[in-house]
Structure 1
Amino acid sequence: MGSANHALAEFRRTKRLSQLDLSLKAEVSARHISFIETGRAQPSRDILLKLAEVMGLSHRECNRLMTECGYAPVYFDRPLDEAAMQPVRQALNVMLDNQDPYPAVVLNSLWDLHMANRSLNRLMSLLLPPDRLQGRINMLELIFDHRGLRPYMTNWDDVAALLLRRLTLQLQTRPNPELGELLETLLSMDPPADWHAPEPQGWEGPMLTSELEINGQHLSVFSTLSSFGTALDVGLQELMIESYFPSDEATRRFFHTLATEAE
């Protein structure tokens, strides 16, 4: 007999699946799934991979499911600065460089800044004191911080509320203690009072528009997030590339001028 598989039960409930639902999707008896969860049966590696697939588990979640049942992790989890990840870093640098003169960043699943292009660095140096750019930089905390980007965002309430709702949804679909701590940190930073309630006529699509006031000039940018959907590495799958684009001609000219002045 094995030990009770708390991970399988946790993931199943997070996906809002009953044991019967999961059994039908995976073509495994509900009785066998019950036995796996209670430790009365030791599942095979193939069964676990099938369950992970039908539940849509991330690479990190799949590794946890495997190790809890006594199997080796399926996916590598290598730091981005490791030698084996050099081709990945090169590819990311190409993507960041191609976005210039508009900003772009590489973030992990906790919204920590890993890489940034020259445009983002130029903008940050223009807006923030040098000490605020030292050490770990979390983009969500930077947006919420009164010493960060918050004072420059004229639609901060809308942006902050949307980010909190997205983060809450992310936690509901993929529970993560560190992500939960980030949410608690943001909620302690004077969030919008009604952040949990979207505007009745609002549309929350994949793009986020931010309005900024910099040196008396109004700027409007929208951002998109992309990821490596077919990555075979835990950390690589969790990386996000956030790219910013000008929403109007004045903003486009601002970034081109900023790049020219830096040459």
Structure 2
Amino acid sequence: MWSALPESDRSAEFGDLLRHWRAVRRVSQLGLASAAGSTPRYVSFVETGRARPSREMVLRLARALDVPLRERNGLLLAAGFAPLYPVAPLGSTQLGRVETALTSMLEQHEPYPAVVLDRGWNVLRANRGAGLLFARLFAPDQMPGAVNVLRLMLEPGPVRSSVLNWDVVAPALLERAAREAVGGVFDRATADLVEQLRARPDIAAVMAGAAAGVPTVPVVDVRFAVDDVTLDLFSVVSTIGTPIDVTAQELRVEAFFPADDATRAAWRRIGPGVEV
């Protein structure tokens, strides 16, 4: 099972949120106190509301529990302090260097597909290779404006129907979603989506089957049937190191690579003007 973040708002009690994060990280009051340079008695008082932490102490406790930046802001608000970590939108001046790096990564990965995802698996940016792949998978229909990778791959539709090894990819993707969640914990929206997907009878069936076997390969390829060719792709995921902005922490780049020479050669047939 996975843990989902509680709803973080101004009415949330700091002690409840702190207790939640201790439970998520499976840390005792003694362990948290030691990591944050405090005492178990003080941590207990904070959790029960008998003590009000300073801003510095809120941050020390959050760092000790490795709380994601967005939720650290929630802890600060619950304790009566202003948020510390900015939430600049992608494309803003504040994230100019990040935007430049993302653009470079997407362009350098051509002609193969690469996308930028947020923590909810929504596609925020895509290079030409990814646009070409998605266009072919959706053809003859138009690609939707909003693309969520979990929904595309796991719910019935043209993308899922093009995945030849869907029974292997589906459980692997759901495991990936939990592993790659920011701070190892789903936000509420993503937790709800994953729960909804796992409740589907077809997905529950393949999850049960996957639990009985252990993969014998280093990575799980996604085998797409595109037009008259089969593409075996695997992906590498990159994140931004030491972010201090909420948006930057939640971004990741997924770059797809051909798994074999046949796929590398077949890519030339996907569309005109593609050079490998």
TM-score (norm 1): 0.89
State the Cα RMSD in Å: 2.4
1:179 lines up with 2:190 in the alignment: yes
For 2:237, the aligned partner's letter is: L
Mark the CA change 1:218 to 1:131 in structure 2 (over 3 Å): closer, same or farther: closer
Identity rate, percent: 35
CA distance in 2, matches of 1:95, 1:88: 11
CA distance in 1, matches of 2:151, 2:235: 17
| Corresponding residue to 1:151 among 158, 161, 178 | 161
1:241 lines up with 2:253 in the alignment: yes
Is residue 222–residue 247 contact of structure 1 (8 Å, CA) maintained in 2? yes
1:38 lines up with 2:48 in the alignment: yes
Q: CA deviation at 1:216?
A: 3.3
1:80 lines up with 2:90 in the alignment: yes
Aligned with 1:114: secondary structure?
strand
CA distance in 2, matches of 1:38, 1:9: 9
> 1:227 corresponds to which residue?
239
> 2:263 corresponds to which residue?
251
Deviates more, 1:151-160 or 1:46-55: 46-55
| Corresponding residue to 2:99 among 49, 70, 89 | 89
> 1:198 corresponds to which residue?
211
Cα offsets for 1:26-51 (capped at 9, x unmatched): 22111100111111111122222221
1:103 lines up with 2:120 in the alignment: no
Q: CA deviation at 1:149?
A: 1.4
Cα offsets for 1:200-241 (capped at 9, x unmatched): 332686x44211222332221111111112111101111010
For 1:221, the aligned partner's letter is: L
CA distance in 2, matches of 1:126, 1:208: 22
Q: CA deviation at 1:170?
A: 5.8
Mark the CA change 1:85 to 1:26 in structure 2 (over 3 Å): closer, same or farther: closer
TM-score (norm 2): 0.85
Pairs aligned (count): 260
CA distance in 1, matches of 2:62, 2:216: 32
Cα offsets for 1:40-65 (capped at 9, x unmatched): 11112222222111211111121111
CA distance in 2, matches of 1:156, 1:35: 50
Mark the CA change 1:199 to 1:244 in structure 2 (over 3 Å): closer, same or farther: farther
For 1:251, the aligned partner's letter is: T
Cα offsets for 1:6-43 (capped at 9, x unmatched): 21111111101111221122221111001111111111
CA distance in 1, matches of 2:50, 2:103: 50
Aligned with 1:5: secondary structure?
helix
Deviates more, 1:117-126 or 1:195-204: 195-204
Deviates more, 1:3-12 or 1:125-134: 125-134
> 2:25 corresponds to which residue?
15
Mark the CA change 1:124 to 1:46 in structure 2 (over 3 Å): closer, same or farther: same
Is residue 122–residue 148 contact of structure 2 (8 Å, CA) maintained in 1? yes
Aligned counterparts, 1:115-130, within 5 A:
115-129=125-139
For 1:231, the aligned partner's letter is: P
For 2:166, the aligned partner's letter is: W
Is residue 117–residue 124 contact of structure 2 (8 Å, CA) maintained in 1? yes
Is residue 163–residue 222 contact of structure 2 (8 Å, CA) maintained in 1? yes
Q: CA deviation at 1:110?
A: 0.3
> 1:211 corresponds to which residue?
223
User: Where in structure 1 are there 5+ consecutive unaligned residues?
Assistant: none
Deviates more, 1:246-255 or 1:74-83: 74-83
For 1:198, the aligned partner's letter is: A
Mark the CA change 1:115 to 1:193 in structure 2 (over 3 Å): closer, same or farther: same
Aligned with 2:215: secondary structure?
coil
For 2:21, the aligned partner's letter is: F
Q: CA deviation at 1:150?
A: 1.1
Q: CA deviation at 1:82?
A: 2.7
Is residue 132–residue 148 contact of structure 1 (8 Å, CA) maintained in 2? no
